[in-house]
Amino acid sequence: MSNHVYDIVIIGGGPAGLAAGLYGSRSKLDVLIIEKGVFGGQAATTAELENYPGSIENCTGPALTERMKHQAEEFGTKFVYDEVVDVDFSGNIKVVKGKEGEYHGKTVIIATGAAPRLAGFKGEIELRGRGVSYCATCDADFFEGLDVAVIGGGDSAITEALYLTKFAESVTIIHRRDTFRAAKYLVEKAMNHPKIKFILNSVVEEAKGDEILEGLVVKNLQTGEVSEVPVNGVFVFVGLDPITKVFEGKIALDEKGYIPTDEEMRTNVEGVFAAGDVRVKMLRQVITAAADGAIAAVAAEEYINEKFNK
């Protein structure tokens, strides 16, 4: 790989990274985004993003994030597919090591995001892609006319449950409490939906099936009663874990692995910023990720002006 030094190297091509790319490139900075899998991040696997301002028409996650990528590209952001395996933030020029090459930047913006957490029931890993799913948009098609379950009680769980009703015969929401973190509007919509059933105060203990999912063993936490729910699919939305393993020991992380920053998205290491779901924050949404990205890019530009352009 060349010794080219970018102004900003952004790790992660989700909404935070793409917004940072857009803002950086519009400021005529030399910006690279490194993405290991799919551009658009978690948003690209979200069915409908009707809570992102301005996206009421054609508001699918893939459509919105594709437009974000295109927009960043129009202003000159460069993209590369690579998986970051190590970083060296000790010098003035930051080094990001990928499987395919090494990238150098005056600044780095970490926008690696978060990944869906496993629910932790027996058979969950063995039956992934065989009935156990973490992506309703990807897999909903398979379950046309079949019965599915959704695990979780947050925005993602309820939104995706509503989406699944377009395909499945029935959608059973299994939630460990009887209250929901999801927006009230969504919960009401789900409660009134003829295809949606609820199993509350309950957890899934086991996924049963030989090669493909046939049913779930569900335990009521209040009564201890165990029952079997026959479903062909189960969609898990029980929360997220930050993707920060590669940064352990390189920058400060909180006890859950998220990156603490100040209001300008600065981490504890000079020249290294963080944006989006990977950051310690109250609300993890596309809109807050994009806002973080914009701030991080502007803060990075200020840092470059002070540090390198004097």
Partner 1 sequence: MLEVNKDNFEAEVLNYTEKPVFVDFWGDKCEKCKQLMPDVHKFEEMYGDKIKFCSLNTSENRRLAIAQKVLGLPTMIMYVNGEKAEVLTPDKIHSAADIEEMIKRFYK
Q: Residue 16: how many CB atoms within 10 A of its CB?
A: 34
* Subset of residues 135 to 154 that bind partner 1, contact rule: CB under 8 A: 135, 137-142, 144
- Please tell me whether residue 230 binds partner 1 under the rule CB under 8 A: no
- Please tell me whether residue 117 binds partner 1 under the rule CB under 8 A: no
Q: Confirm whether 141 is a catalytic residue.
A: no
**Catalytic member of 7, 82, 139, 277:** 139
Q: Residue 241: how many CB atoms within 10 A of its CB?
A: 14
Write down the least CB distance from residue 66 to partner 1, Å.
8
- Please tell me whether residue 183 binds partner 1 under the rule CB under 8 A: no
- Please tell me whether residue 17 binds partner 1 under the rule CB under 8 A: no
Contact between residue 5 and residue 279 where contact means Cβ atoms under 8 Å apart = no
- Please tell me whether residue 40 binds partner 1 under the rule CB under 8 A: yes
Nearer Cβ to partner 1, position 105 or 131? Answer: 131
- Which tokens in the block code for residue 303? 């840092």
Contact between residue 53 and residue 72 where contact means Cβ atoms under 8 Å apart = no
Write down the least CB distance from residue 223 to partner 1, Å.
32
Q: Confirm whether 86 is a catalytic residue.
A: no
- Please tell me whether residue 83 binds partner 1 under the rule CB under 8 A: yes
Stretch near partner 1 under the rule CB under 8 A, chosen from 194-202, 205-213, 239-247, 287-295: 205-213
- Please tell me whether residue 101 binds partner 1 under the rule CB under 8 A: no
Q: Confirm whether 147 is a catalytic residue.
A: no
Q: How far apart are CA 158 and CA 154, in angstroms?
A: 6
**Catalytic member of 86, 138, 254, 262:** 138
- Please tell me whether residue 81 binds partner 1 under the rule CB under 8 A: yes
Stretch near partner 1 under the rule CB under 8 A, chosen from 24-32, 151-159, 208-216, 255-263: 208-216
Q: How far apart are CA 288 and CA 2, in angstroms?
A: 34
Write down the least CB distance from residue 40 to partner 1, Å.
7
- Please tell me whether residue 38 binds partner 1 under the rule CB under 8 A: yes
Write down the least CB distance from residue 5 to partner 1, Å.
26
Q: Annotated active-site positions, please?
A: 135, 138-139
Interaction site with partner 1 (CB under 8 A):
36-40, 44-45, 61-62, 81, 83, 99, 125, 128-133, 135, 137-142, 144, 211-213, 232-233
